[in-house]
Amino acid sequence: MLKGKVAIVTGSTSGIGLGIARELARLRADIVLNGFGDANEIEAIRSGIEREHGVRVSYDGADMSKEDAVRGLVTATVAKFGRLDIVVNNAGIQFTAPVEEFPAARWNAILAINLSAAFHSIAAAVPQMKKQRWGRIVNIASAHGLVGSTHKAAYVAAKHGLIGLTKVVGLETAGSGVTCNAVCPGWVRTPLVDKQINDIAAERGISQQDAARDMLAEKQPSLEFVSPAQLGGTVAFLCSGAADQITGTAISVDGGWTAR
């Protein structure tokens, strides 16, 4: 379905981004992986996807907290592959604290990686996508892009901002063959969430299993985690012809979190 298309997935060395990269590769897109981690592990992921799906997979370690690096990732991809069809803005970090104790440096880092990076990659990618008269921008927001929770001032602000950015880019590219949408996952069991499960377990003196159950019970009516593969499927749908007229919107994949 995506043969000949080129996709950048930011933050794809782990978790949701990796699930999305795997699904797009399964559909035959060439992939640019991005994110941090152990060089040998990243190379094993890169070559593994390439072998399994017979697509080209490259890795670019651009730091999404830096404007030049984000724009450079787009430029380097176009230079290397000659085109750019799909950008999935997924890289993200989390930090929790009451607002009056929230360190300004953490606020700045979360805004830079979870919001500004998407602005820079979109600004750099849209001219190329318009030239091709086809493009898909998918911003991985969160249920926290639609509703708030305590102790997540920066994350909730950034994710709400990302949905605002999605609407504006959807409007500005309407009719050009380019679409821009957000996906809003509920809890997904990744390293980002494991850290929060560990914190709950330590705080309440309970097992990780009980902490995970409590976490779901508090927010996610399905009482089941969303999987990275399911989110890969959502992104794939947004890249399909069925989604040609879906733009500027936010799709929840959250087990019912934001329905109440």
Residue 235 and residue 183 in contact, taking contact as beta carbons nearer than 8 Å: yes
Using CB under 6 A, pick the residue from 170, 185, 248, 255 that binds ligand NAD.
185
* Catalytic residue check, 155: yes
Among the listed residues 233, 235, 255, 98, the one whose alpha carbon sits nearest the alpha carbon of residue 180? 235
Among the listed residues 144, 134, 137, the one whose alpha carbon sits nearest the alpha carbon of residue 118? 137
Does residue number 11 form part of the binding site for ligand NAD (CB under 6 A)?
yes
Least separation in angstroms between CB 244 and ligand NAD: 25
Compute how many other C-beta atoms are within 10 angstroms of the C-beta atom of residue 82. 8
Candidates 31-39, 43-51, 75-83, 200-208: pick the segment binding ligand NAD (CB under 6 A): 31-39
Does residue number 15 form part of the binding site for ligand NAD (CB under 6 A)?
yes
Least separation in angstroms between CB 40 and ligand NAD: 15
Catalytic residue among 107, 155, 187, 225: 155
Candidates 57-65, 125-133, 198-206, 212-220: pick the segment binding ligand NAD (CB under 6 A): 57-65
Question: Distance between CA atoms of 216 and 68, rounded to whole angstroms?
Answer: 38
Does residue number 90 form part of the binding site for ligand NAD (CB under 6 A)?
yes
What are the φ and ψ backbone dihedral angles of 252, each rounded to 5 degrees?
-85, 135
Looking at the annotation, which residues are catalytic? 155
